[in-house]
């Protein structure tokens, strides 16, 4: 059984093939980072045009021999959440190709795929578990009961953590995406040279708020005329400390409230090394385990779409028509 996975929710065109016997066979990501970098963030119109001009050749290149594509049993594509134009490119392409091959499509929720991406690793959790989903648009704590059954425990009431990383990076004249940039430069920063707020850290609920922290860091940066390397590194360090402390503290609160010590952390921000280090330390207190994906599965990729497609295909959760389905605000919880 073999599934082709297509990911186009934002600015990465991801194509992968997952086989239930051989595992992940192909995983290609075409990143548009260099294009969007010039604008300091993603331009949705450009993102969809780029998907359109790349998707066909990417798929054609992975099926070098004409008959290879005939071994595909279904096409899984990201139907949401994401940018509507980008989603439409993947959905239209996938539905048309599936129609021509007379195989079904499977619609995938991008955030569910992030959550399950850890299952492709050798070390993976059993259900139920807690999940911190941290990406460019989402910061959520979710209770994963079983495959397909999720409850929301808390989320950001304003900006997502990834969004805050991206904005601070931009204000420090660093590149997009901001997460890896902040992380890189913060290694040279002096710990506690500056201290920024840790919003909602004292509150016992599981919600987050990052817009105040973002504004306070930006105001601080704007007071400085010359942004030299050391200043940038010290600010990046202080910001990274605040945001990771809040994320870790809320995970700890969730562990206590739900009395469960298996924690999955996924989405782009889960690649952050400081966050990983702090979570590993925290979980020791609860004799628990924290599970991460390898870095290339943290950010957007086709592998997690093909893998989730495989799980849904086995449960016969396939589409019975070739309608183009996109749900830009699709949530995984009730
Ligand atoms: O999951 P993802 O690739 O796309 C969305 O679904 O949004 O996440 C992208 C986000 C960006 O905001 C990026 O800055 C952040 O993940 N990110 C990181 C790191 N790598 C990517 N944030 C902090 N540290 C990193 N190492
Ligand atoms: Zn994502």
pLDDT in tens, the chain (334 residues): 999 999 999 999 999 999 999 999 999 999 999 999 888 889 999 999 999 999 999 999 999 877 789 899 999 999 999 999 999 999 999 999 999 999 999 999 999 999 999 999 999 999 999 999 999 999 999 999 999 999 999 999 999 999 999 999 999 999 999 999 999 999 999 999 999 999 999 999 999 999 999 999 999 999 998 999 999 999 999 999 999 999 999 999 999 999 999 999 999 999 999 999 999 999 999 999 999 999 999 999 999 999 999 999 999 999 989 999 999 999 999 7
Contact 86, 9 (CB under 8 A): yes
Q: Which ligand has the nearest atom to the CA of 138?
A: 1
Superfamily of domain 2-115+298-314, CATH level 4: ATPase, nucleotide binding domain (3.30.420.40)
Nearest Cα residue to atom 7 of ligand 1: 136
pLDDT of residue 65: 78
Distance 10 CA to ligand 2 centre (A): 8
Instruction: Please give the number of the atom of ligand 1 that sits closest to the Cα of 267.
Output: 1
pTM above 0.85, yes or no: yes
Ligand 1 nearest atom to the CA of residue 111, by list position: 6
From 37, 165, 183, 243, give the residue whose CB has the most ligand 1 atoms within 8 Å, as the site to mutate: 165
Q: How far is the CA of 236 from the centre of ligand 1 (A)?
A: 15
On the question of a common fold for 2-115+298-314 and 126-292, the answer reads: yes
pLDDT at position 64: 82
- Give residue limits of the domains in the chain: 2-115+298-314, 126-292
Q: What's the chain's Rg over C-alpha atoms?
A: 20
- Around ligand 1, the residues with Cβ closer than 6 Å are 10, 135-137, 162, 165-166, 177-180, 183, 267-269, 271-272, 299-300
Q: What is the pLDDT of residue 253?
A: 98
CATH of domain 126-292: 3.30.420.40
CA distance 279 to 245: 9
């Amino acid at each position: 059984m073999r599934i082709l996975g297509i990911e186009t929710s934002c600015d990465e065109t991801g194509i992968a093939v997952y086989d239930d016997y051989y595992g992940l066979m192909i995983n290609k990501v075409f990143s548009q980072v260099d294009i969007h970098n010039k604008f300091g963030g993603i331009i949705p119109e450009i993102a969809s045009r780029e998907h359109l001009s790349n998707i066909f050749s990417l798929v054609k290149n992975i099926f070098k021999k004409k008959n290879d594509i005939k071994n595909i049993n279904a096409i899984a594509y990201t139907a949401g959440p994401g940018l509507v134009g980008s989603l439409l490119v993947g959905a239209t392409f996938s539905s048309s190709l599936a129609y021509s091959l007379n195989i079904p499509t499977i619609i995938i929720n991008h955030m569910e795929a992030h959550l399950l991406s850890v299952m492709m690793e050798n070390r993976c959790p059993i259900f139920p578990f807690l999940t911190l989903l941290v990406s460019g648009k989402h910061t959520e704590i979710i209770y994963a009961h079983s495959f397909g059954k999720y409850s929301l425990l808390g989320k950001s009431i304003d900006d997502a953590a990834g969004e805050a990383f991206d904005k601070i990076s931009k204000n420090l004249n660093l590149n997009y995406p901001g997460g890896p940039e902040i992380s890189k430069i913060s290694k040279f920063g002096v710990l506690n040279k500056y201290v920024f707020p840790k919003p909602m850290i004292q509150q016992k609920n599981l919600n987050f708020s990052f817009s105040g922290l973002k504004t306070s860091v930006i105001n601080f940066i704007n007071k400085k005329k010359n942004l030299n390397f050391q200043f940038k590194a010290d600010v990046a360090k202080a910001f990274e400390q605040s945001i990771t402390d809040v994320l870790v503290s809320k995970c700890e609160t969730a562990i206590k409230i739900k009395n469960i010590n298996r924690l999955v952390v996924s989405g782009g921000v889960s690649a952050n090394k400081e966050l990983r280090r702090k979570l590993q330390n925290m979980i020791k207190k609860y004799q628990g385990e924290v599970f991460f994906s390898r870095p290339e599965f943290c950010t957007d990729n086709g592998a997690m779409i093909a893998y989730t497609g495989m799980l849904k295909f086995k449960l016969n959760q396939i589409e019975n028509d070739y309608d183009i389905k996109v749900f830009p605000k699709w949530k995984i919880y009730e």
